[in-house]
């Protein structure tokens, strides 16, 4: 039986979807920004109700705009910085705290510039860090949990659908040969293709051993070469898999991965390719 600290540690180390849908991004950016502005106007916490200034509600709306602007900037640059495979709930919480610090800093500058009650001092800076964290943590934490659970549920449903399609798949084993530049390969030996820059790893199994063959080509050109071979299906922007080598599909909140027969490595599946993969597995023609 797991103790509470172990349960918490296990949850914090669960994978978290670093790449979320555009709809979720806009809700997190504009939706929560709007909620922050609305809550400040309606509830007037932290002594705001005692402020007697012109354009009070308009100025309060600015705090929601600050959050939205910084969050939009984060979503713009984060794909270039963070790698999806290593992102966890703990990482997301730490990053959220860092974002709160940045938001708190700009909230402070904004308040000092436009609200006479606040001065340019360490005390007021710390006050705004406290205000930002206590007021903003709850909606962002709630949103984080929604994303994590929503993506986990979606991935599990996709895995079940693909596994059902695999069970019904009529696997054919024709003795087909394909010529890829200097490589002459049996179709049944090919597990998957992994593309990067202008090169492709052809992952094959020969003599019960997995090998990678370096092939100079682009994924677009390779896709055209494989057009007549129904065994191959693109499942990711960088991967093409031999559907007849798929053993099972599984995943977590970050996304779906395929386990292949006689292969220790897994192949990722992008959400945009889930239905394509399922239909290709089901359709053997």
Closest to 44 in 3D by CA, of 135, 130, 118, 139: 135
Cβ atoms within 10 Å of 256's Cβ, excluding its own: 25
User: Mind listing the pLDDT tens digit for each residue in 216-231?
Assistant: 999 899 999 999 898 9
Half-sphere exposure of 254 (CA within 13 A, CB side): 15
The pair of structure tokens assigned to 199 is 């090169």
For residue 239, what are the contacts with CB-CB under 8 A and spacing of at least 6? 192, 193, 194, 195, 267, 268
Instruction: Classify domain 169-282 at the CATH superfamily level.
Output: LytTr DNA-binding domain (2.40.50.1020)
Predicted model pTM: 0.63
- Measured CA to CA, the distance from residue 25 to residue 131 in angstroms comes to 24
What pLDDT is attached to residue 84? 52
Closest to 142 in 3D by CA, of 245, 31, 227: 31
Cα-to-chain-centroid distance, residue 107: 28
The dihedral over CA atoms of 170, 171, 176, 177, expressed in degrees to the nearest 10, equals 130
In the block, which residue shows the tokens 């962002």?
140
What pLDDT is attached to residue 173? 60
What pLDDT is attached to residue 82? 64
The pair of structure tokens assigned to 253 is 């909140």
- Measured CA to CA, the distance from residue 193 to residue 185 in angstroms comes to 13
Whether the CB-CB separation of 236 and 268 falls below 8 Å is answered with yes
The CA distances from residue 8 to 13, 14, 83, 85, in Å, are: 9, 10, 23, 21
Whether the CB-CB separation of 17 and 148 falls below 8 Å is answered with yes
φ/ψ of 278, rounded to 5, equals -60, -45
What is the pLDDT tens value at each position of the chain, 285 positions in all? 556 677 788 777 776 766 667 777 888 888 888 988 998 999 888 888 888 888 999 999 999 999 999 999 988 887 666 655 567 778 877 888 888 899 999 999 999 999 888 899 999 999 999 998 888 777 777 777 777 777 788 888 888 888 888 887 766 666 788 988 888 899 999 999 999 888 999 999 988 889 999 989 998 999 999 998 989 999 998 999 999 999 999 887 667 899 999 898 899 998 888 888 988 887 754
| Domain spans in the chain, listed from the N-terminal domain onward | 4-151, 169-282
What pLDDT is attached to residue 253? 64
């Amino acid at each position: 039986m797991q103790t509470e600290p172990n349960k918490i540690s296990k949850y914090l180390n669960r994978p978290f979807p670093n790449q979320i849908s555009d709809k979720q991004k806009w809700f997190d950016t504009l939706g929560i920004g709007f909620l922050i502005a609305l809550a400040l106007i309606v509830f007037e916490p932290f002594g705001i109700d005692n402020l007697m200034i012109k354009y009070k509600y308009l100025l309060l709306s600015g705090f929601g705009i600050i959050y939205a602007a910084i969050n939009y900037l984060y979503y713009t640059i984060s794909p270039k910085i963070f790698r999806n495979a290593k992102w966890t709930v703990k990482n997301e919480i730490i990053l959220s705290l860092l974002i709160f610090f940045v938001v708190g800093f700009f909230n402070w500058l904004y308040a000092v510039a436009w609200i006479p009650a606040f001065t340019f001092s360490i005390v007021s800076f710390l006050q705004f860090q406290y205000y930002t964290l206590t007021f903003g943590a709850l909606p962002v934490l709630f949103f984080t949990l929604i994303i994590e659970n929503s993506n986990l549920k979606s991935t599990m449903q996709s895995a079940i659908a693909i596994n059902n399609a695999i069970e019904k798949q009529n696997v054919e084993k024709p003795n087909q040969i394909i010529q890829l530049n200097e490589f002459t390969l049996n179709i049944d030996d090919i597990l998957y293709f992994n593309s990067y820059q202008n090169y492709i790893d052809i992952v094959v199994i020969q003599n019960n051993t997995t090998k990678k063959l370096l092939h100079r080509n682009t994924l677009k050109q390779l896709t055209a070469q494989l057009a007549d071979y129904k065994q191959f299906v693109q499942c990711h922007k960088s991967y093409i898999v031999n559907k007849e080598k798929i053993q099972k599909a599984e995943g977590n909140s970050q996304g779906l991965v395929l386990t292949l027969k006689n292969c220790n490595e897994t192949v990722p599946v992008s959400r945009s390719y889930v239905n394509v993969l399922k239909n290709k597995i089901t359709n053997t023609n």
